[in-house]
Amino acid sequence: MKITILGAGAMGSLFGGYLSLHNDVWLVEIDQKKVDKINRDGIRIREPEGEKVFYPTAVSDTDGLGEMDLVIVFVKAMYSVSALERNRRLIGANTYVMTLQNGAGHERTILKFADRSHVIIGTTKHNSSIIDVGHINHGGGGSSSIGLLDGKSDRIQNIADNFSLCGFETDVSDSVRKSIWKKLFINVSASVMTGILQTDLDFLKDSIHAWRLVERLIREAVAVADADGMEFDEEEVIRDVRTLVENAHNGYTSIYADLHNGTRTEIDTINGTVITEAKRLKVPVPAHEFVMELVHALEDKALMYEAQ
């Protein structure tokens, strides 16, 4: 397959590296120095068993590449529109556009560039972090799930098989929205709290007060999902998040990193998604509203102090 990945960050590099095993892969990155380094040295991925090196092609300009079979969006949500606009030429009548980004609701952006029958939404349990340019740590694996926004998702079974062949166990589901919400429960609770508190995930299980806040955010999010007919078991979701936190082994989240580095977070497509859906469904979510304003205040604080 001809695959272009928008964003050569931690997750874009992870997928770009492994997918290049059996596909023609282009990694799009606006920083030319990063492009040159990746093309010179490859993508180095640290695995528990040692380092692996892959050689996808990095580009800063996709002019002349032609239409792709698949375009995967891995930039932060606030950059999705500009990234897709700059690379619109890659998307033809038969091109699938996929999001595996954090949060939910990304399909609303992608629909500005592709028709509903070619939009793939999904979620993955894989995670990674940047060590240096072109060098990432594969922090954990697991399954991925993808599905079409419109139509029977078995039409994209070949894409799932391709991902699995490259090392990402992937299934196709017509109910992928429920899988996305399962991951969202983690991000809107545990992940956002590590960002606000500037701690690793381990702290959440060690502090009774921090865990109470995590639970409150989970319960509100489950109430929203269930109001939309998803039928989650609240206590089961809490147990699942707790298990993930207990197995994280000093893990750090992207929201932690963004706030630590003084950059904008993806809170609007994480807790913001819960708030948007809650308003539509008339479900109260005061904890999420407070948390989103607090994160934006922390972003503002970092930018204001940087400007001084």
**Backbone φ and ψ of 111, nearest 5°:** -65, -15
Question: For residue 146, what are the β-bridge partners?
Answer: 122, 172
Using DSSP, state whether 289 is helix, strand or coil: helix
Ordered strands of the 127-132 beta sheet = 50-54, 43-47, 135-140, 127-132
Q: Which fold has domain 178-307?
A: N-(1-d-carboxylethyl)-l-norvaline Dehydrogenase; domain 2 (1.10.1040)
- Rounded to whole angstroms, the maximal C-alpha distance in the chain is 56
Cβ 199 vs Cβ 192: under 8 Å:
no
pLDDT (tens, 9 = 90+) of the chain, 308 residues, equals 999 999 999 999 999 999 999 999 999 999 999 999 999 999 999 998 999 999 999 999 999 999 999 999 999 888 999 999 999 999 999 999 999 988 888 888 999 999 999 999 998 988 888 899 999 999 777 889 999 987 688 899 999 999 999 999 999 988 888 888 988 999 999 999 999 999 999 999 999 999 999 999 999 999 999 999 989 999 999 999 999 898 877 778 889 989 999 989 989 989 999 999 999 999 999 999 999 999 999 999 988 877 66
Give the position of tokens 């589901």. Answer: 173
Decide: 205 and 243 in contact? Cβ < 8 Å.
no
The pLDDT value given to residue 136: 92
Task: Name the residue ranges covered by the structural domains of the chain.
Answer: 2-174, 178-307
pLDDT score of 176:
84
The CATH number of 2-174 is 3.40.50.720
DSSP string, 130-170: EEETTEEEEEE---EEEEESSS-GGGGHHHHHHHHHTT--E
* Pick from 6, 128, 138: nearest CA to 76: 6
Measured CA to CA, the distance from residue 140 to residue 124 in angstroms comes to: 11
